Amino acid sequence: MILRLAFASLIARALTVGMTILAIALSVALFLGVEKIRTGAKASFADTISGTDLIVGARSGSVQLLLYSVFRIGNATNNLTWETYQDIASHPDVDWIVPISLGDSHRQFRVMGTTPTFFERYKYRSGKSLVVNDGAIIDDLFDAVIGADVAATLGYSVSDPIVVAHGLASFTEHDDQPFRVSGILEKTGTPVDRTVIIGMRAIEAIHVDWQVQGQSTPADALRQMELEPQAVTAALVGVKGRLKVFGLQRFINEYTQEPLLAILPGVALQELWQIVSIAETALVGVSAMVVITALIGMMATIFSSLNERRREMAIFRAMGARPRVIVGLLVLEAIVMATLGALVGLELLYIGLTIGQPLIDSAFGLWLPIEPPTLREVWVLLVVILAGAIVSMVPALRAYRMSLADGMTVRI
């Protein structure tokens, strides 16, 4: 009977109740949306590089090595000699190794020297490979493959010329050896999008004439040279077996020829995430305040309706309804509103994900999977419903204390 009365009362106040349900639904959708973005950002961050067992560089800190080798932030304290790189590459536990050479730039975008193997071995988002959206990978000495953000920001297309500058903020350009855009990569949501990729031999080629002032070696002559690298900034390493990772890491960290550091990318990424996780906490806190505000709004709505329902409550009391029935009626109404608000909010979330998922992925490289509600999200919905019942107790107790005469008195 109480349930029937609650639904009849809610239908009678359809407009006010509908606005309250909408406010709760929007706040729930926002909270769950922020939760999806938080987990999606964390997963995308952790999937910036996958399939690589070790990252090797000069001895520094694990986060610093990760920042400059993967995120192209900062600079290396030192380089690895080419002899050391070859020694590591010849280790029996090494399955594959990809060199990385940094130090030059193009209009504030980092230039990375590597080998064609990089396009095969670099993985992101749990094993996804790089895809050339237009053109082809490096074929000629002066070919360059650019990331999606480089192409979009600078308006480049295949066959456009690129002039590499020495250093990150240098006005000294290698304009005597211009490169040609041979390919443009699909957007990945990783630092690759903001990178100009050239060959390791090309790194050596553009620095051939730096030791002799005013000399300019023709491009065809450079193509005929061996151009063996002298050093590399870092290296991505794949191991033949998971059980051999730690042994190889120990071998590299204890290398006697020069001080080296080998890190596990996953562990270093977790360390780096801990540094930036304050933003994650702030997002959750703000969205939680939105939900609390919506629940307080529901309590205010119930409070404001009490004055209009004084006579209704008095009639219930006159018909023999006990005070706890009145309290139960108001609490039940609040539970129904909170439940409907939570369910509508969940539906709005999935509608938003369906529409926004491809747009967010293409614009920001942030993948938000459309999956059934997680246990954490189910608990959020239950907490919202429980909180709705709790906040309704305040106006319910106010209605409980209303006297029968108060409800029957006509106020002018």
Overall residue count recorded for the chain in this entry: 412
Nearest residue to 118 via CA among 196, 175, 176 = 196
Distance (Å, whole) CA 274 – CA 286:
19
User: What distance in Å separates the CA atoms of residue 275 and residue 294, rounded to the nearest whole number?
Assistant: 32
Quote the CA–CA distance of 370 and 238 in Å, as a whole number.
32
Cβ-in-10-Å burial (0-12, 13-18, 19+) of 46 comes to middle
**Which of 123, 145, 124 has the alpha carbon at shortest distance from 134?**
145
Q: Are 209 and 166 in contact (CB under 8 A)?
A: no
Name the 3-class secondary structure at 236. strand
Beta-carbon contacts of residue 372 (< 8 Å; ≥ 6 apart): none
Evaluate whether 82 touches 306 at the Cβ level (below 8 Å): no
Segment holding 54, helix H or strand E: strand 54-58
- Given this model, what pLDDT does residue 365 score? 66
pLDDT-based confidence at residue 403 (cuts at 50, 70, 90): very low
Q: How far apart are CA 29 and CA 20, in angstroms?
A: 14
- Distance linking the first and last C-alpha atoms of the chain: 34
Which of 2-16, 172-186, 353-367 is the least confident region? 2-16
In the predicted model, what is the mean pLDDT of residues 82-108?
Answer: 93
- What's at 183, amino acid-wise? G
CA distance 388 to 342: 10
> What's the pTM value of the predicted model, to 2 decimals?
0.74
**pLDDT (tens digit per residue) in 239-291:** 998 889 999 999 999 999 999 999 999 888 888 887 777 777 777 787 778 77
What ranges do the domains of the chain cover?
A: 2-45+277-408, 54-263
The confidence score (pLDDT) of residue 212 equals 47
Please write the tens of the pLDDT for every residue from 91-101: 999 999 999 99
